A and B are shown apart, each in its own frame.
Chain A
Amino acid sequence: MEPLRNGGGAEDKAWRRGADAGPPRRWSGGGGGGGGAAGADSSAAAGPSGRQRRDSVRKNRPLFPWFGLDIGGTLVKLVYFEPKDITAEEEKEEVENLKSIRKYLTSNVAYGSTGIRDVHLELKDLTLCGRKGNLHFIRFPTHDMPAFIQMGSEKHFSSLHTTLCATGGGAYKFEQDFRTMGDLQLRKLDELDCLIKGVLYIDSVGFNGHSECYYFENPTDAERCQKLPFTLENPYPLLLVNIGSGVSILAVYSKENYKRVTGTSLGGGTFFGLCCLLTGCSTFEEALEMASHGDSTKVDKLVRDIYGGDYERFGLPGWAVASSFGNMMSKEKRESVSKEDLAKATLITITNNIGSIARMCALNENINRVVFVGNFLRINTISMRLLAYALDYWSKGQLKALFLEHEGYFGAVGALLELLDSA
């Protein structure tokens, strides 16, 4: 959801920054010899009489590589399972371009100028479909999707005969490109199915021995507020709020039984989009950084600005925001606020609104646990604590806000699990 481009970079610079050094449109030129090998391999595998690849062959197990892809409105999330239990025989038989993909992904933490591997999220020694390995979490901006497909094509990905499981709107939007440019057939999966599957799975396997799920204790007390693990045993029912570019809210009653309650277009994309317009920033990180130094009460009109204190008639505390950006109706105040203040106010506005809608949905659905996921929350402690606080305060302690460490990757994980399930 949050593009990672550096300031001033036009779209075409993104994946192609390495273009001067090597062939255009590739991640970093790693695995230079892969091209030719893949070509040969591809012809061998094409015929029915061709040598069967045996690297991951077992009747009910798909061929390597195992990927799960979630192509969102702003960000592509990719999970990759790196088998660590490759036998010598497998190693020998592993086709060259498969090996090069594995090496390339696992030996780098950045791909091109915009692809990033979230190393801190890596799940180690995971057993999936009887194979042991590590799960890697990679993200890059959706507008670099063509370059990614191009790379797949150059690496002869199609020769691997793997199924590429993808979810998110982009699975549909780029399906044609995958087919024509990459000679790849996508298996398109339902976004919400994948999301829930991913959440439940990651929560069940835990985060390298730690809890995946956490909450904030004493969210209303800045001093004593702390992040604590939460055990999601018997997780149902729960309200799942996925904050990407936009927001989807799901009520989950069991693994199979869930419904999309509502959604809002005021999401991470809105925060970042408005910040770009208001402050001229160009990355999500930059926007958050600015916000962390700003003071939103200069921008927002608070209850106390109107009533001089609490509005007791309605039980509204003086510190509550009465009108987001309300002070900006006045010219003098417009001239006296900083970009940081504006970024903070934007963040507070969007976050409070999501909290508000989530709270209403929880009440309407009679659910008291609300799990917030999505990349809007990445490195965004301000929003998480505010959500925890708002939910607790306005529900008088009835609702609990929960968070998950792998924030935005659950759709991609769900897609990967679909791949394994289907085999």
Chain B
Amino acid sequence: MAERGGRGSGGHGSLDKSITLPPDEIFRNLENAKRFAIDIGGSLTKLAYYSTVQHKVARVRSFDHSGKDIENEPLYEISVQEEITARLHFIKFENTYIETCLDFIKDHLVNTETKVIKATGGGAYKFKDLIEKKLGLKVDKEDVMTCLIKGCNFVLRNIPHEVFAYQKDSDTEFRFQTNHPNIFPYLLVNIGSGVSIVKVETEDKFEWIGGSSIGGGTFWGLGALLTKTKKFDELLQLASKGQHTNVDMLVKDVYGGACQTLGLSGNLIASSFGKSTTADKEFSKEDMAKSLLHMISNDIGQLACLYAKLHNLDKIYFGGFFIRGHPVTMRTITYSINFFSKGEVQALFLRHEGYLGAIGAFLKGAEQDNPNQYSWGENYAGSSGLMSTSPDVYPMQRTRSGTFDMFEMDRLERPLVNLPLLKDPSTYIPDTVDLTDDAMARKYWLTCFEEALDGVAKRAAASQPDSVDAPERAEKFRQKYWNKLQTLRQQPFAYGTLTVRSLLDTREHCLNEFNFPDPYSKVKQKENGIALKCFQSVIESLDSLGWEERQFALVKGLLAGNVFDWGAKAVSDVLESEPQFGFEEAKSKLQERPWLEDSYSQWLERLKEGPPHKCALIFADNSGIDIILGVFPFVRELLSRGTEVILACNSGPALNDVTYSESLIVAERIAVMDPVIQSALKEEKLLLVQTGSSSPCLDLSRLDKGLAVLVRERKTDLVIIEGMGRAIHTNYYAALKCESLKLAVIKNSWLADRLGGKIFSVIFKYEVPCK
């Protein structure tokens, strides 16, 4: 029912003022902070604020080439500019630090026009005066449950892999769920000192449908009486070591050995504490704590199931301090829900459960900014990730910043939606391999990213030769990403399902964090320039071929272009040492047909026999040869067939992937040389759009809304996904409602080996949805 109550009492006296806070780690970007919110529980405080972050971004701008010698000029101008983006910061710390933190905030708060701070949580009233005095802000209290639910809706909508099921006895303890497009209705069971059961039907409509007084406070209070152990966490530790069968009366204690023949499960608890009905026997603390834990968890699970049944709901999210990251309680609650619902209902937990109240309070105060209008993304660089709070289970060294758990979200400039062509958005999983599940693969990829790290840091530093502090920032980047990789080795579930995509994205976030927005901008510029020079000769040679030969050459060109990928270590080695490594050489590296995955004949057949596609959506991959000599000739052929083309490129930079703004310049330059492209652009038969993403991979459930609208308008009936990141690491198994073509060259020998091929093996996967 309420937040945890007991431990905070008397907290004022024991405030720890001795700590000094490292400002670049905690309470970041306070200078521009506004709209504060605070959620004070019984032992933890969660602070939220909205801030703007100044970022360096690489911008490209086309030169005016008229009358100039374009041979020796760079293709376009690159400038580094400051961009301001919005970010949500959430910090969680123990109540004992509250005064120190408030002082720190006061000292660093410069530009704020904020007058109020939204406050929620059971402890809000206790610290009201302190907050008002320290910050000079008026405390505006918000209802606990309203905040909790607002926060819950927000994370369910915005954070991929927010939700997980807990399975203790499986290899993957944390089984993350795909975000369902429709998050309602659901049941939120908040286990604080008591239990509140709330049914949430829409964004604004929720109802308290019941509760129970047997909750976390019962475990804590009764546990303290029984075991003389004062702290909640210690009680949980005791419980995890105990044997409840010494204290509980089991079915087999009542029925004896006959359980099996009767089909009864003898280990079920017939009566909790049924064996302690005696004054002359001693029971161990551990056993009593365990019995209490089972009793309470089972009871809550049973009630939750009864309420779920009555209201016909199958999604139950559990939260509150009783649950909060404790494997012990997540396990017993999961067991209970399975038992009482006979497996029909799944107990679900949230990665950012501890922040819900703070997020909700923040949203209440930020309604003017309309946060719900935007899409938000978790910033992996600035977020601590899900930590297990049980030191026994995960013996991680708790650093200073471990005391301060952080969660940051970036506001995305445009809303993200599902690709309308996904066959089943509710079951779509972008990633091909779940590294949380696959220990072998996890080990390989973590090592792979570790090994590549020095090179990435070096390249980042080299990309800003004019910046004095570039080497220092590069080193900071290196350290930060290294630490993330180490965390993920210990706790692969820290940021949701661990995937190659999440590893790549985290690296991009870390690079951005230290102002390396686009380390490959110059490389891309150069490669685009070189490739453009070859465009006409490539087109000429293609045009000289017969139809069938040309189709094959186009596909080969697309694949060869895809060899140029700075993300793959094997290729970046070659590119570093042989800058003239050409298009033809790339073609010669390709595997001969039959390819590793080869449905080229079906594709050719389709082109030959079927009517032209109405509209093709192409997700492009790399800059330079790939986009210019691979993709554009292919686009040109489609256009000639009468197929409209939507060419989708990343909104922001990632490795040497072509960005939307680069693609505009490239298209413009090609248009000058090629009348087909020129007229298609003019007649809007070739449309360049942005994906909304800055990832080297592709999540078809989070795409720019404009793209989705266009896809629908143009009645897109073919989707082409190119490149290892987008077609193999992600979307390899993605099922679409229309025809699709997934092609890539495998530039990683381990992955090639795993798929049963060799390095530079070709994937050509043409799929037609079954009717």
CB nearest to A168 among chain B residues: B254
Considering the complex, give the chain A residue whose CB is closest to the CB of B275.
A273
Q: How far is the CB of B49 from chain A (nearest CB, A)?
A: 26
Q: Which of A262, A274, A363 has the most B CB atoms < 10 Å from its CB?
A: A274
Q: How far, in whole Å, are A271 and B214 apart by their CA atoms in the complex?
A: 14
Which of A130-138, A217-225, A354-362 contacts its partner?
Answer: A354-362
28 examples of A-B residue contacts, CB within 8 angstroms:
A73-B249, A169-B255, A170-B255, A173-B254, A175-B256, A265-B271, A265-B295, A266-B295, A267-B271, A267-B272, A269-B249, A269-B270, A273-B273, A306-B1, A306-B122, A313-B143, A316-B208, A322-B194, A323-B213, A323-B216, A323-B218, A325-B221, A326-B194, A329-B7, A331-B230, A342-B225, A353-B213, A360-B210
Is the Cβ of B221 less than 8 Å from the Cβ of A303? no
B291-309: which residues lie under 8 A (CB-CB) from chain A?
295, 298-299, 302-303, 306-307, 309
Residues A274 and B254 in contact, CB atoms below 8 Å apart: no
When A and B form their complex, which 9 residue pairs have the shortest distance between CB atoms, in order from nearest? A329-B6, A328-B221, A173-B256, A273-B273, A269-B271, A169-B254, A323-B217, A269-B274, A326-B217
Is B215 located at the chain interface by the 8 A CB criterion? yes
Using a CB-CB cutoff of 8 Å, which residues 344-398 of chain A contact chain B?
A: 349, 352-353, 356-357, 360-361, 363-364
A418 at the interface (CB under 8 A from B): no
- CB-nearest residue of chain A relative to B340? A262
Nearest to A274 among chain B residues (CB) is B273
Q: Give chain B residues whose Cβ lies under 8 Å from the Cβ of A3.
A: 277
Residues of chain A with a CB closer than 8 A to B271's CB: 73-74, 244-246, 265, 267-270, 273
Chain B residues within 8 Å of A246, by CB: 249, 269-272, 274
The distance from the CB of A71 to the nearest CB of chain B, in whole angstroms, is 9
Q: Indicate with 1 or 0, residue by residue over A329-341, a CB within 8 angstroms of chain B CB atoms.
A: 1110010000000
B306 near A173 with CB under 8 A, answer no
Asked if B310 is an interface residue, CB under 8 A from chain A, the answer is: yes
Contact B225 A328 (CB under 8 A): yes
* Contact A72/B145 with A270-B295, A276-B277, A306-B122 known, Cβ cut-off 8 Å: no
Task: Assess whether B214 is in contact with A172, with CB atoms less than 8 Å apart.
Answer: no
Q: Are A172 and B222 in contact (CB under 8 A)?
A: no
Q: Which of B278, B295, B309 has the most CB of A within 10 A?
A: B278
- Cβ contact within 8 Å between A356 and B273: no
- Bound state CA distance, A170 and B257, in angstroms? 10
Q: Does residue B5 face the partner (Cβ distance < 8 Å to A)?
A: yes
A328 vs B212: C-alpha distance when bound (angstroms): 17
Minimum C-beta distance from B128 to chain A (A):
14
A329 touches B226 (CB 8 A): no
Report how far A303 CA is from B221 CA in the complex, Å.
16
**Contact between B278 and A328 (Cβ–Cβ < 8 Å)?**
no
> Using a CB–CB distance below 8 Å, which chain B residues touch chain A?
1-2, 4-7, 9, 122, 143, 145-146, 192-194, 196, 208, 210-218, 220-222, 224-226, 230, 247-249, 251, 253-258, 262, 268-280, 283, 288, 295, 298-299, 302-303, 306-307, 309-310, 340
B276 CB contact (under 8 Å) in A175, A274, A316 = A274
Assuming A169-B255, A329-B6, what are 20 further A-B pairs, CB within 8 angstroms? A10-B280, A74-B274, A169-B254, A169-B270, A172-B258, A173-B256, A175-B258, A262-B340, A265-B248, A265-B270, A266-B214, A270-B295, A278-B225, A313-B208, A314-B208, A321-B213, A323-B217, A324-B215, A334-B225, A357-B306
B258 touching A8, Cβ below 8 Å: no
Shortest A229–chain B CB gap in Å is 31
Contact of A364 among B275, B299, B309 (CB under 8 A): B309
In the complex the two chains form, is A303's CB within 8 Å of B224's CB?
A: no
| A360 and B225 contact, CB distance less than 8 A | no
- How distant is B121 from chain A, measured CB to nearest CB, in Å? 11
Count contacts between A and B, CB distance < 8 Å. Answer: 225
How far, in whole Å, are A246 and B222 apart by their CA atoms in the complex?
20
Name the distance in Å between A59's Cβ and chain B's nearest Cβ.
Answer: 33
> Are A328 and B254 in contact (CB-based, < 8 A)?
no
For A270, list chain B residues within 8 Å (CB). Answer: 271-274, 295
* Bound-state Cα–Cα, A246 to B298, Å: 13
Write out the residue numbers on chain A whose beta carbons fall within 8 Å of the beta carbon of B255.
169-170, 172-173
Q: B5, B247, B257: which has the most chain A beta carbons within 10 Å?
A: B5
A363 touching B276, Cβ below 8 Å: no
Tell me the minimal C-beta distance from A97 to chain B in angstroms.
Answer: 29
CB distance from A311 to the nearest CB of B (A): 8
Q: Which residues of B contact A144 (CB under 8 A)?
A: none
How far is it, in angstroms, between the C-alpha of A306 and the C-alpha of B340 when the chains are bound? 31
- When C-beta atoms are compared, the residue in chain B nearest to A281 turns out to be B279
Q: Which residue of chain B has its CB nearest to the CB of A314?
A: B208
Is A48's CB within 8 Å of the partner chain B? no
A315–B218 touching, CB < 8 Å: no
Contacts of B307 in A (CB 8 A): 360
Considering the complex, give the chain B residue whose CB is closest to the CB of A275. Answer: B277
Interface residues of A (CB under 8 A from B): 3, 7-8, 10, 72-74, 168-170, 172-176, 244-246, 262, 264-270, 272-274, 276-278, 280-282, 299-301, 303, 306, 313-316, 320-331, 334, 342, 349, 352-353, 356-357, 360-361, 363-364
B275 to chain A, nearest CB (A): 7
Tell me the minimal C-beta distance from B200 to chain A in angstroms.
14
User: With A270-B271, A352-B213, A360-B303 given, is the CB distance from A265 to B254 under 8 Å?
Assistant: no
- Distance, CA A331 to CA B1, complexed state (A): 21
> Which of A74, A303, A322 has the largest number of chain B CB atoms within 10 A?
A322
CA distance A150 to B220 in the complex (A): 45
Q: A353 and B221 in contact (CB under 8 A), knowing A74-B274, A276-B276, A361-B306? A: no
Residue among A7, A274, A329 making CB contact with B279, cutoff 8 Å: A7
- By a CB distance below 8 angstroms, the chain B residues around A300 are 213
Asked if B299 and A266 make an inter-chain contact with CB atoms under 8 angstroms apart, the answer reads: yes
Q: How far is the CA of A176 from the CA of B256 in the complex (A)?
A: 10
Chain B hits for A331, CB < 8 A: 230
Find chain A residues with CB under 8 A from B288 CB.
Answer: 277
User: In the bound complex, do residue A329 and residue B217 qualify as a contact, i.e. CB atoms below 8 Å apart?
Assistant: yes
CA of A1 to CA of B122, assembled, Å:
41
Whether the Cβ atoms of A323 and B279 lie closer than 8 Å is no
With both chains docked as a complex, state the minimum distance between the C-beta of A76 and any C-beta of chain B, in angstroms: 12
Structural contact, B306 and A272, CB atoms closer than 8 A: no
A360 to chain B, nearest CB (A): 4
The residue of chain B having its C-beta at the shortest distance from the C-beta of A306 within the complex is B2
A171 to chain B, nearest CB (A): 9
- Are A323's CB and B298's CB within 8 A? no
B221 and A323 contacting across the interface, CB-CB below 8 Å: yes
Residue pair B220, A329 in contact (C-beta under 8 Å): yes
B212 and A301 form a contact (CB under 8 A): no
Known: A172-B262, A270-B271, A306-B5. A326 touches B218 (CB 8 A): yes
A264 to B298, alpha carbons, bound, how many Å?
8
CA distance A280 to B278 in the complex (A): 8
Residues of B within 8 A of A315 (CB): 208
Query: How far in angstroms is the closest Cβ of chain A from B262?
Result: 7
- Neighbouring A residues of B7 by C-beta, 8 Å: 329
From B212, B257, B258, B310, contact of A356 by CB (8 A): B212
Q: Is the CB of A323 within 8 A of B1?
A: yes
Query: Is A349 within 8 A of B256, CB to CB?
Result: no
Bound together, the chains give a CA A328 to CA B302 distance in angstroms of 24
**When the two chains form the complex, which single residue of A7, A316, A326, A357 contacts B5, counting CB atoms closer than 8 Å?**
A326
B277: which of A170, A272, A280, A326 is its contact (CB, 8 Å)?
A: A272
Q: Across the interface, which residues of A come within 8 angstroms of B268, CB to CB?
A: 265
In the complex the two chains form, is A323's CB within 8 Å of B306's CB?
no
Contact between chains at A330 and B6 (CB < 8 Å): yes
B6 touches A245 (CB 8 A): no
Beta-carbon contact of A172 and B9 below 8 Å: no
Please measure, in the bound complex, the distance between the C-alpha atom of A222 and the C-alpha atom of B247, giving whole angstroms.
37
Nearest Cβ distance between residue A200 and chain B, in whole angstroms?
Answer: 24
B251 & A169 in contact (Cβ 8 Å cutoff): yes
A62 to chain B, nearest CB (A): 25
Whole-angstrom distance between the Cβ of A282 and the nearest chain B Cβ: 4
CA distance A274 to B224 in the complex (A): 13
**CB-based nearest B residue for A308:** B125
Closest residue of chain B to A287, judged by CB?
A: B277
Q: What is the bound-complex CA distance between A320 and B6, given in angstroms?
A: 19
